[in-house]
Structure 1
Amino acid sequence: MSHVTHTPSSPAVFRIVDLFAGPGGLDVAADVLGYRVTGIEWDDNACETRAAAGMDTFAGDVREYSAALFPHAQVLTGGPPCQTFTVAGHGAGRRALDDVLEYIARLHDAVRSDKTPWNEVDRVWSGISEELQSKALEADAVKTEKREVEAARSVTRKAVRKNLAGHGCSTEEIKIALKTLEAPLAPARRDADLKSLFDDLVSLEKSLDAHRVRLEELGDERTGLVLQPLWWVIERSRRPGLVPYEAVVLEQVPAVMPVWVEYEKVLATLGYRTRTQMMHTEAFGVPQTRRRAVLMARLGEIDIPKLDEPHERYRPGGAPAASRDADRADARLWEVDEKSVGRRKGPKDSWVSMEAALKKARDIAREIVPDLDLPDRPAFTVVSNYGTGGDPGARGRRDHDDPSATVTGKVSRNRLVHKGTDTDLPLFSRFELAEAGVLQTFPVAYPWRGRDRSQQIGNAVPPRLALHVLRHVLEPELSEKEADARLEQAVAKLENWRPPSEPARIRRREDLEGHPLTGG
């Protein structure tokens, strides 16, 4: 990127194409490592942020592009949006996961032999795409019908309330009647009009249930999106005239780990060495507890070892209920045994607290963005916008000298209270956007733009985690000492990073010609 002024110290300057690139979490990490990244992102707000940060961006749906359009990209990265998969139970999440795994198996069958003609491989993908498109179109139609039924139900419920009130029913009796679909008083039960209204309500509720079941069966468009990176790898590996990516890095929420495990089988067939790992962000210097399912792959014969955790994991006296409950079933099957994780020589560093990260950010901001006046708060506790343990009223809490809980799109709603109390801080009782970004390890000077900025921050890849993963996959030849020095330098550059004086141009599909990755 044009605004990088330091001389890259990487052994090789890889050119990366980043699918579902978001506001630039992976991109800014690649930037400070000296790599060149082009992101594809469909959210206009995230594109605005990327442009202000100088990130090379093609706007639009990943499905509008293809691997063949970027033949000079050497590395594929991405975090495809996905619906909630679960490896437990028999609900919509289980069905969605089964559908995705079945599609991956079909693609794997198509590429098992390197003698299979490309047109046959492409035909399999076209068939899958057509199925997904057909389901998406039907789902849109079902959603429209469902909204119409919901509107009719709302009108009917209003008429029922009015009729019951006319019969002298109390507010509580009306509430129970709408729940049980039965009039509470004998005179009301003899009302023919009311009986007809209740019959209509019963019919509408049954119709809504049928629509919900059908929508669960159809899934949603994210089922297809989670397959996109795999298809890009297959296209680069099997389409005549193209060469395989040298490396692949994919990340998502823990529930996607079963998908990455199936990806590994296909990648192995295509000549890659792979590694999947459940990563705890605080163990990589992120001042936040968050788990990410990561798939790493490198073409050729070099194995990818497990990525060492340089920091301790956060273990309070008793794990917060939210942490205990989140992805519990998935964690049992996909959590990494700590004894099996590669260990660094010597003691690990402590995890980083919110207080330490925010203090360092304030010091840096005074030097590079003096107009950004970040608050210096007294000891505080963060009270989450979310309930814990299934109780909406039991808000999760983290003290200032702990890592943050997972930063989500609702981070701006979290309350900051005096430590050990429920008393809001008189000033700055919410995190500033720059502070929320810092808790994700974005530079304090990162230029958040557009709407839904909290959502952009919550959805992003923590750049510091991306630093570790990219260096690990793309620079296997470095010794442990060289790798440590490389990361130390990159972390310093990340913390002190600043945006360019002029924003980058947001490109569209029609702007492919002449781009460095297209060869045009």
Structure 2
Amino acid sequence: MSHIENAPPSPAGFRIVDLFAGPGGLDVAADVLGHQVTGIEWDPGACETRNTAGLDTFRGDVREFRAIFFPHAQVLTGGPPCQTFTVAGHGAGRRALDDVLKYIAQLHDVVRVENQDWRKIFRTWRRISEDLRSRERKAEKVKARKREVEDIRAAKRRAIRNRLVHLGNSDDAAKNILKGLKDPQKLEFQDYELKGLLKELSDLNDELAKLKDELEELGDERTGLVLQPLWWVIERSKRPGSTPYEAVILEQVPTVMRVWEEYAKVLATLGYKTRTQLMHTEAFGVPQTRRRAVLMARFDPTAFANKLHPGHLPKVSESHMRYQPRTEQADTLFSGASEEDRTERPKDCWVSMGKALKRAKEVADRLKLNPPPELHDRPDFTVVSNYGTGGDPKLRGRRDHDNPAATVTGKVSRNRVVRKDNGEYLNRFSSAEAGVLQTFPVAYPWSGNDVPQQIGNAVPPRLALHVLRHVLEPELNDEEAQDRLDQVTTALENWKPKKPVTARRRKDWKDHPLAGC
């Protein structure tokens, strides 16, 4: 059963469909704001967390769904996978980005034509989808061959090692030779069998390099996923009998900003006021430094009817100072902010890890949560990152308890936590604590597999509060908006799971309020 009610939403409430919904970062923020959200998510672990939290969910690949399946949704949100644009060290990410921008341009060209026939718009999307599917099928064949070659190569390396030992080398010497085996054919050995094995290994290395290059050219399925929200907006705007979404909110890593900027051009053509904004999470009360590229849009039917350029939404005002790793920042009211960002209201200092975790314990004690979340008492501590810095894997990033956390990733459970004064090992962050650093409620019921990855991939709910409030409640003045944020921030802290639910499948439309069945 779903917790979404069939009764009309309150005047301040919207019905939201959230693509790539994850464990529910945006959804829990929307819930405390009084909106009704249906998420679409394919990951089993994230769906299990959503089920336990009582969040309405369709489980499946977003590509299996369409905007027309949810005709009563008023707002579209989402954060499509981003890894395809952030491949470090090669041009694969750049090529994937160029491909997406090319496809967006094709869609823009067809929708900007006045009174364009819907069938032509749909045919354009179908050609793009077929191209992406064809490349995906080719990539799967290349991946299969790559796995096969890697298995053969591993067997060949074992054979070389065994031959080296047979020729009188020690195990350690054989291992060291293999470790330094960058160009097998340059090694000089008199043994005929060993020379043959090295030649075969060299040929396999060459084939693997070619297969990797081919995969980079083909891209992967995530390249097409970033186009899904745009197509949903186009379908709702242009398909006969459909009505445009009242608002659109999308977020991702900073490298996706170029995609959002091109999205904004298409949305402007469709009659939306838009805003793209690079948001620093600590500047919105999140106790970690993290940057997110956000696209916000609000449909303006008056401008659309008069064929005027709809213009831009205002920026979301920062409530806290941006983090700078120096002690004097606390004395700098607007540190890290431009003149455009400054407001009359003084900004609060960023929130530290220690403060956020202490507050979580107070909330958990007051709510008398059962079972109690795993929250540790620690002296002043330092977090030692699982990642290297400055290109040196041995040089680990460090943050003290009285600073915001570094970006919380899927490796958060691997970060070491040590005493600040003597380096003694302390308890690593639990799932509840890592969730708190993402501003999830302390009562959030993390479930399923790979919880650290769920947490690292999630939208920080407190950031989502600011964005949702800004886009969906533009009528509030500054004082009213601040009162509203204070109210819902407290509600977010005190949030408890609803009755558990079961995620629906694609065919389970009966009686769903967004489906109109």
> What SS does structure 2 have at the residue aligned with 1:203?
helix
User: Is 2:183–2:202's contact at 8 Å kept on the other side of the alignment?
Assistant: no
Shift of 1:88: 11
> What SS does structure 1 have at the residue aligned with 2:445?
coil
Unaligned runs of 5+ in 1: 319-336
Q: How does 1:462-473 map to 2 (within 5 A)?
A: 462-473=460-471
> What SS does structure 2 have at the residue aligned with 1:273?
strand
Q: Which residue of 1 aligns with 2:320?
A: 311
Q: How does 1:56-455 map to 2 (within 5 A)?
A: 56-85=56-85, 91-169=91-169, 170-171=173-174, 174-175=177-178, 178-182=181-185, 189-300=189-300, 301=303, 303-317=312-326, 338-339=337-338, 341-368=340-367, 369=369, 371-372=371-372, 374-425=375-426, 429-455=427-453
Normalized against structure 1, the TM-score is what? 0.91
Distance in 1 between residues matched to 2:295 and 2:376, nearest whole Å: 38
From the superposition, tell whether residues 512 and 33 of structure 1 become closer, same or farther in structure 2 (CA, over 3 Å). same
Q: Which residue of 2 aligns with 1:54?
A: 54
Q: Which residue of 2 aligns with 1:334?
A: none
Whether 1:516 aligns to 2:497 is: no
Distance in 2 between residues matched to 1:466 and 1:280, nearest whole Å: 12
Shift of 1:2: 7.4
Normalized against structure 2, the TM-score is what? 0.91
Task: Figure out how many residues of one structure are paired with residues of the other and give that number.
Answer: 493
User: Is 1:157–1:178's contact at 8 Å kept on the other side of the alignment?
Assistant: no
Q: Report the more deviating stretch, 38-47 or 413-422.
A: 413-422
Q: Report the more deviating stretch, 230-239 or 176-185.
A: 176-185
Distance in 2 between residues matched to 1:288 and 1:87, nearest whole Å: 23
Q: Which amino acid aligns with 2:457?
A: N
Shift of 1:11: 4.9
Q: What's the Cα RMSD here?
A: 2.2
Shift of 1:116: 1.1
Q: How does 1:489-508 map to 2 (within 5 A)?
A: 489-500=487-498, 502-508=499-505
**C-alpha distance after superposition, 1:406-429 (max 9, x if no partner):** 11111111111001443212xxx2
**C-alpha distance after superposition, 1:232-275 (max 9, x if no partner):** 00000000010000100000011100100110111111011100
User: Is 1:289–1:404's contact at 8 Å kept on the other side of the alignment?
Assistant: yes
Task: Give me the identity figure in percent.
Answer: 65
Distance in 2 between residues matched to 1:197 and 1:414, nearest whole Å: 42
User: Is 1:100–1:227's contact at 8 Å kept on the other side of the alignment?
Assistant: yes
Distance in 1 between residues matched to 2:88 and 2:287, nearest whole Å: 30
From the superposition, tell whether residues 476 and 11 of structure 1 become closer, same or farther in structure 2 (CA, over 3 Å). farther
Distance in 2 between residues matched to 1:102 and 1:310, nearest whole Å: 37
Shift of 1:115: 1.2
User: Is 1:118–1:240's contact at 8 Å kept on the other side of the alignment?
Assistant: yes
User: Is 1:82–1:225's contact at 8 Å kept on the other side of the alignment?
Assistant: no
Distance in 1 between residues matched to 2:4 and 2:351, nearest whole Å: 28
From the superposition, tell whether residues 47 and 2 of structure 1 become closer, same or farther in structure 2 (CA, over 3 Å). closer
> What SS does structure 2 have at the residue aligned with 1:231?
helix
Distance in 1 between residues matched to 2:55 and 2:452, nearest whole Å: 19
Q: Which amino acid aligns with 1:121?
A: I
From the superposition, tell whether residues 340 and 74 of structure 1 become closer, same or farther in structure 2 (CA, over 3 Å). farther
Q: Which residue of 2 aligns with 1:332?
A: none
Q: Which residue of 2 aligns with 1:486?
A: 484
User: Is 2:161–2:175's contact at 8 Å kept on the other side of the alignment?
Assistant: no
Q: Which amino acid aligns with 2:245?
A: Y
User: Is 2:17–2:76's contact at 8 Å kept on the other side of the alignment?
Assistant: yes
> What SS does structure 1 have at the residue aligned with 2:378?
coil
Distance in 2 between residues matched to 1:104 and 1:265, nearest whole Å: 10
**C-alpha distance after superposition, 1:41-82 (max 9, x if no partner):** 001111111111111101100011000110110000000012
**C-alpha distance after superposition, 1:121-178 (max 9, x if no partner):** 0000000000100111110100010111111111111111122222334336623662
> What SS does structure 2 have at the residue aligned with 1:360?
helix
Runs of 4+ in structure 1 deviating by more than 3 angstroms, as ranges, are 1-5, 8-11, 86-90, 182-185
